[in-house]
Chain A
Amino acid sequence: MKKLLTAIIAVLATHSAIAGVKIENWVAPGGARVFFVESRVLPMLDVQVDFAAGSMFDPPGKSGTAALTRSVLGLGAGKLDETAIAEQMADIGATLGGGADTDRASVAVRTLAAADKRDAALAVLRTVLHAPRFEAAVFEREKARTVAGLKEAMTRPDSIAGKAFWAAMYPDHPYGRSATPESVAALTRDELVAHHARYYTAANASITLVGDISRGEAEKIAEAIAAGLPKGEPATLPPAPAVAPGKAVKLEHPASQAHIHIGLPAIERGNPDFFPLIVGNYTLGGGGFVSRLMKEVRDKRGYAYSVSSYFNPLRQAGPFQIGLQTKRAQAKDAIAVSRDVLDGFLKDGPSSEELAAAKANLTGSFPLRLDSNKKILDNVAVIGFYGLPLDYLDNYQQKVRAVTVDDVKRAFSRYVRPADLMTVTVAAD
Chain B
Amino acid sequence: MRMRHLLALFLLPGLLTAALANPYETTLKNGLRVIVKEDRRAPTAAQMVWYRIGSMDEVDGSSGVAHVLEHMMFKGTPSVGPGEFNKRVAAAGGRDNAFTSRDYTAYFQQVPKEKLPEMMQLEADRMRHLNVDAKEFAQEIKVVMEERRMRTDDNPQSRLFEQMNATAFQTHPYRRPIIGWMNDLENMSAADAKAWYDTWYVPNNAYVVITGDVDHKEVFALAEKYYGALEGRALPARKPQIEPAQDGTRRVNVKAPAELPVLIMGYKAPVLRDADKDSDPYALEMLAAILDGHDAARFNKKLVREDKVALSVGIDYDPTGRGPGMIYLHGSPSEGRTVADLEAALRAEITRIQQDGVSEQELKRAKAQLVAGQVYKLDSMFGQAMEIGQTESAGIPYQKIDRMLEKLQQVSAAEVQAVAKKYFNDDTLTIGVLDPQPLDGKQRRPTVATRH
Contact B83 A367 (CB under 8 A): no
Determine the chain A residues whose CB is within 8 A of the CB of B257 once the complex forms: 155, 253-255
Report A36-86 residues with CB < 8 Å from chain B CB.
40-44, 82-83, 85-86
A168 to B14, CA, bound (A): 62
Contact B93 A366 (CB under 8 A): yes
Question: B100 to nearest A CB, angstroms?
Answer: 14
A152 to B444, CA, bound (A): 13
A357 to B91, CA, bound (A): 6
Report B36-93 residues with CB < 8 Å from chain A CB.
40-44, 74, 82-83, 86-87, 90-93
Contact B294 A89 (CB under 8 A): yes
A272 to B96, CA, bound (A): 30
Given that A15-B40, A148-B334 are known contacts, is A302 also in contact with B93, CB under 8 Å in the complex? no
Contact A289 B90 (CB under 8 A): yes
Contact A112 B154 (CB under 8 A): no
Question: B397 to nearest A CB, angstroms?
Answer: 26
Contact B44 A254 (CB under 8 A): no
Determine the chain B residues whose CB is within 8 A of the CB of A83 once the complex forms: 296, 301, 305
Is residue B231 within 8 Å, beta carbon to beta carbon, of the partner chain?
no
Is residue B335 within 8 Å, beta carbon to beta carbon, of the partner chain?
yes
Can you list, as one digit per residue, whether each of A353-393 has a CB less than 8 Å from chain B (1) or not (0)? 00001001111111110111110000000000000000000
Report which of B111, B140, B373 forms a contact with A93, defined as CB distance below 8 A.
B373
Most chain B beta carbons < 10 A, residue from A82, A111, A304, A365: A365
Interface residues in B, total, Cβ within 8 A? 75
Report which of A18, A147, A325, A357 forms a contact with B42, defined as CB distance below 8 A.
A18
Question: A353 to nearest B CB, angstroms?
Answer: 11
A18 to B113, CA, bound (A): 13
Contact B86 A302 (CB under 8 A): no
Contact B296 A44 (CB under 8 A): no
Question: A7 to nearest B CB, angstroms?
Answer: 16
Can you list, as one digit per residue, whether each of A189-214 has a CB less than 8 Å from chain B (1) or not (0)? 00000000000000000000000100
A141 to B311, CA, bound (A): 9
Is residue B20 within 8 Å, beta carbon to beta carbon, of the partner chain?
no
Contact B439 A93 (CB under 8 A): no
Is residue A151 within 8 Å, beta carbon to beta carbon, of the partner chain?
yes
Query: Which stretch (B144-152, B160-168, B424-432) binds chain A?
Result: B144-152
A366 to B115, CA, bound (A): 13
Is residue B379 within 8 Å, beta carbon to beta carbon, of the partner chain?
yes
Determine the chain B residues whose CB is within 8 A of the CB of A362 once the complex forms: 93
Contact B373 A301 (CB under 8 A): no
Determine the chain B residues whose CB is within 8 A of the CB of A372 once the complex forms: 42, 379-381
Contact B94 A90 (CB under 8 A): no
Minimum CB distance partner of A86 in chain B: B296
Is residue A187 within 8 Å, beta carbon to beta carbon, of the partner chain?
no
Determine the chain B residues whose CB is within 8 A of the CB of A111 once the complex forms: 372
Report which of A300, A306, A367 forms a contact with B150, defined as CB distance below 8 A.
A306
Contact A298 B143 (CB under 8 A): yes
Contact B93 A325 (CB under 8 A): no
Is residue B365 within 8 Å, beta carbon to beta carbon, of the partner chain?
yes
Given that A92-B368, A155-B439, A374-B380 are known contacts, is A17 also in contact with B259, CB under 8 Å in the complex? no
Is residue B125 within 8 Å, beta carbon to beta carbon, of the partner chain?
no
Contact B372 A112 (CB under 8 A): yes
Determine the chain B residues whose CB is within 8 A of the CB of A370 once the complex forms: 42
Is residue A305 within 8 Å, beta carbon to beta carbon, of the partner chain?
yes
Is residue A87 within 8 Å, beta carbon to beta carbon, of the partner chain?
yes
Question: B308 to nearest A CB, angstroms?
Answer: 6
Minimum CB distance partner of B82 in chain A: A299
A365 to B74, CA, bound (A): 20
Is residue A14 within 8 Å, beta carbon to beta carbon, of the partner chain?
yes
Given that A152-B259, A287-B90, A365-B94 are known contacts, is A16 also in contact with B375, CB under 8 Å in the complex? no
Can you list, as one digit per residue, whether each of B88-118 has a CB less than 8 Å from chain A (1) or not (0)? 0011111100000000000000111001000
Given that A18-B41, A371-B41 are known contacts, is A257 also in contact with B149, CB under 8 Å in the complex? yes
Can you list, as one digit per residue, whether each of A99-141 has a CB less than 8 Å from chain B (1) or not (0)? 0000000000011100001000000000000000000000001
Is residue A269 within 8 Å, beta carbon to beta carbon, of the partner chain?
no
A53 to B425, CA, bound (A): 49
Contact A295 B83 (CB under 8 A): yes
Question: B67 to nearest A CB, angstroms?
Answer: 12
Report which of A14, A15, A253, A302 forms a contact with B141, defined as CB distance below 8 A.
A302
Question: B122 to nearest A CB, angstroms?
Answer: 14
Determine the chain A residues whose CB is within 8 A of the CB of B312 once the complex forms: 145
A89 to B334, CA, bound (A): 27
Can you list, as one digit per residue, whether each of A264-306 has a CB less than 8 Å from chain B (1) or not (0)? 0000000000000000000000011110000100111111111
Can you list, as one digit per residue, whether each of B339-380 has a CB less than 8 Å from chain A (1) or not (0)? 000000000000000000000000011101111110110111
Report which of B90, B115, B294 forms a contact with A357, defined as CB distance below 8 A.
B90
Contact A327 B146 (CB under 8 A): yes
Report which of B93, B259, B364 forms a contact with A364, defined as CB distance below 8 A.
B93
Is residue A227 within 8 Å, beta carbon to beta carbon, of the partner chain?
no
Is residue B7 within 8 Å, beta carbon to beta carbon, of the partner chain?
yes
Most chain B beta carbons < 10 A, residue from A42, A94, A371: A371
Is residue B238 within 8 Å, beta carbon to beta carbon, of the partner chain?
no
Contact A256 B2 (CB under 8 A): no
Question: A358 to nearest B CB, angstroms?
Answer: 9
Is residue A19 within 8 Å, beta carbon to beta carbon, of the partner chain?
yes
Report which of A41, A151, A253, A290 forms a contact with B83, defined as CB distance below 8 A.
A290
A18 to B41, CA, bound (A): 6
Report A295-347 residues with CB < 8 Å from chain B CB.
295, 298-306, 325-327
Most chain A beta carbons < 10 A, residue from B144, B259, B332: B259
Minimum CB distance partner of A373 in chain B: B379
A295 to B139, CA, bound (A): 11
Is residue B25 within 8 Å, beta carbon to beta carbon, of the partner chain?
no
Most chain B beta carbons < 10 A, residue from A42, A295, A327: A42
Determine the chain A residues whose CB is within 8 A of the CB of B305 once the complex forms: 82-83, 141
Contact A152 B143 (CB under 8 A): no
Is residue A91 within 8 Å, beta carbon to beta carbon, of the partner chain?
yes
Determine the chain B residues whose CB is within 8 A of the CB of A42 once the complex forms: 3, 41, 375, 378-379
Given that A43-B7, A152-B258, A289-B74 are known contacts, is A90 also in contact with B91, CB under 8 Å in the complex? no
Contact B296 A368 (CB under 8 A): no
Determine the chain A residues whose CB is within 8 A of the CB of B111 once the complex forms: 368
Report which of B2, B83, B365 forms a contact with A91, defined as CB distance below 8 A.
B365
Minimum CB distance partner of B93 in chain A: A364
Contact B43 A19 (CB under 8 A): yes
Question: A269 to nearest B CB, angstroms?
Answer: 24
Given that A90-B296, A299-B83, A368-B112 are known contacts, is A112 also in contact with B140, CB under 8 Å in the complex? no
Most chain B beta carbons < 10 A, residue from A83, A94, A149, A155: A155
Minimum CB distance partner of B2 in chain A: A40
Is residue B142 within 8 Å, beta carbon to beta carbon, of the partner chain?
yes
Contact A148 B139 (CB under 8 A): no
Minimum CB distance partner of A255 in chain B: B154
Report B111-135 residues with CB < 8 Å from chain A CB.
111-112, 115
Is residue B293 within 8 Å, beta carbon to beta carbon, of the partner chain?
yes
Is residue A350 within 8 Å, beta carbon to beta carbon, of the partner chain?
no
Determine the chain A residues whose CB is within 8 A of the CB of B110 once the complex forms: 368
Question: A110 to nearest B CB, angstroms?
Answer: 7
Instruction: Supply 11 A–B pairs (Cβ within 8 Å), ascending by A.
Output: A16-B213, A40-B2, A83-B301, A85-B295, A87-B294, A110-B376, A141-B308, A255-B154, A305-B150, A327-B149, A363-B93
- Taking A148-B332, A288-B90 as given, write out 7 further A-B residue pairs in contact, using a Cβ cutoff of 8 Å, ordered by the A residue number: A16-B40, A16-B42, A93-B368, A93-B372, A255-B257, A302-B141, A368-B112
Chain B residues engaging chain A, CB cutoff 8 angstroms: 1-4, 7, 40-44, 74, 82-83, 86-87, 90-95, 110-112, 115, 138-147, 149-150, 153-154, 213, 257-260, 293-297, 301, 304-305, 308, 311-312, 332, 334-335, 364-366, 368-373, 375-376, 378-381, 436, 439
Chain A residues engaging chain B, CB cutoff 8 angstroms: 14-19, 40-44, 82-83, 85-87, 89-94, 110-112, 117, 141, 144-145, 147-149, 151-152, 154-155, 157, 212, 253-257, 287-290, 295, 298-306, 325-327, 357, 360-368, 370-374
